[in-house]
Amino acid sequence: MKPGIFQGRSFLKLLDYTPEEINCLIDYAAQLKKQKKTGISHKVFTNKNVALVFEKTSTRTRCAFEVAAADLGIHPVYLEPTGSQIGKKESIADTARVLGRMFDGIEYRGFGQDVVEELAKYAGVPVWNGLTNEFHPTQILADLLTIREHFGALKGKKLVYMGDARFNMGNSLMVGCAKMGMHFVACTAKKYFPNDALINECKKIAEETGAVLEFIEDPISATKGAHVIYTDVWVSMGEPDEVWSERIKELTPYRVTMDIMKNAGEQCRFMHCLPAFHDLNTTIGKQIYDKFGIDCMEVTNEVFESDKSIVFDEAENRMHTIKAVMAASL
């Protein structure tokens, strides 16, 4: 059954939600997933329209919103990165007020978190964050559902994030783990740790939930006993190409290899929000190989393709969790 407490609420970052509310959304997603798998219709909406605004490209998030909308009986309208006036000819506040008059909900993927917060302030309808530089909350819901499916629980589970932990994925995983009483480790060079303000906010949450937060530079001690080793691309959307060389140099010690997985232990699973640079079958992957001579970046192909890798369960769960967020707030 649809939980009533989310009606009319935006989903901008996990910091805005209590652990109980996050659990409730995960439960609801699990229920919708079961309905989908068993062929039980959940087309519960009629006459609802949602806008999907993307200022950056996407495969999973866009498809998750579109398929979830179709399953729920909602009509989605996709606005591609160059397909609207947003920000260029029309302010965020004006765009929000226009879209809010036509749509029942708005998904936004873009740059600053301040933009999605401003959209929500002016839209008058729920706004869902489909990724900003700072946070990627719908990804974390999918990750939490996936971890729960594989390990049966979240509390006390150890998740080690390797790579650039200052950006959307590192930040959001730290928040998600803090909220759910998990053991979060940022395993990277010091300059890639999340910022102090967010760490302090998460430490306060951890005092309430029993979560453990650690920031460790040595990959061997950091990954010991991990349930999940998680990584993401070393250069995120919107960052300049010039940073590749520095990132490759500084983050190569934090590549997820089979040795790291073995060091973690038999129980350990590999997760990645995707897309991932694990082979040479991408244009950027080939360009990096030509320039730097490396055939993978944040994760080896061996780990990515191994039976420890649960990245496609994770990708599928984007759809079930996004469906839960949309259905609960409309």
Residues at the site binding ligand NVA, with contacts judged by CB under 6 A = 131, 167-169, 232-233, 236-237, 273
Nearest-approach distance from CB 65 to ligand CP, in angstroms: 9
Using H for helix, E for strand and C for coil, what is the string for 152-175? Answer: CCCCCCEEEEECCCCCHHHHHHHH
Partner in contact with 167, chosen from ligand CP, ligand NVA, none, beta carbon below 5 to 8 Å by kind: ligand NVA
- The Cα–Cα gap between 304 and 270 comes to 7
Q: Please identify, among the stretches 25-33, 56-64, 97-105, 277-285, the one whose residues bind ligand CP according to the rule CB under 6 A.
A: 56-64
Nearer to ligand CP, 45 or 277 (CB): 277
Q: Please identify, among the stretches 44-52, 57-65, 68-76, 220-228, the one whose residues bind ligand CP according to the rule CB under 6 A.
A: 57-65
- The Cα–Cα gap between 248 and 5 comes to 45
Instruction: Check binding of 273 to ligand CP (CB under 6 A).
Output: yes
- Looking at the DSSP assignment, which residues form a beta bridge with residue 272? 231
CA angle 55, 121, 79 (to 5 degrees): 25
Nearest-approach distance from CB 204 to ligand NVA, in angstroms: 25
Structure tokens at 32: 């919708």
Partner in contact with 233, chosen from ligand CP, ligand NVA, none, beta carbon below 5 to 8 Å by kind: ligand NVA
Which amino acids are annotated catalytic?
109, 136, 139, 232, 273, 318
Instruction: Check binding of 59 to ligand CP (CB under 6 A).
Output: yes
Instruction: Check binding of 131 to ligand CP (CB under 6 A).
Output: yes
* Helices and strands in the chain: count of H runs, count of E runs: 13, 9
Residues 282-300 as b/e (b if ≥16 CB within 10 A, e otherwise) read eeebeebbeeeeeebbbbb
Nearest-approach distance from CB 142 to ligand CP, in angstroms: 8
Partner in contact with 59, chosen from ligand NVA, ligand CP, none, beta carbon below 5 to 8 Å by kind: ligand CP
Q: 136 near 168, Cβ under 8 Å? A: yes
Crossing angle (nearest 10°) for helices 137-151 and 19-37: 70
Nearer to ligand NVA, 45 or 270 (CB): 270
Partner in contact with 146, chosen from ligand NVA, ligand CP, none, beta carbon below 5 to 8 Å by kind: none
Q: Which positions lie near ligand CP, rule CB under 6 A? A: 58-61, 131, 139, 273-274
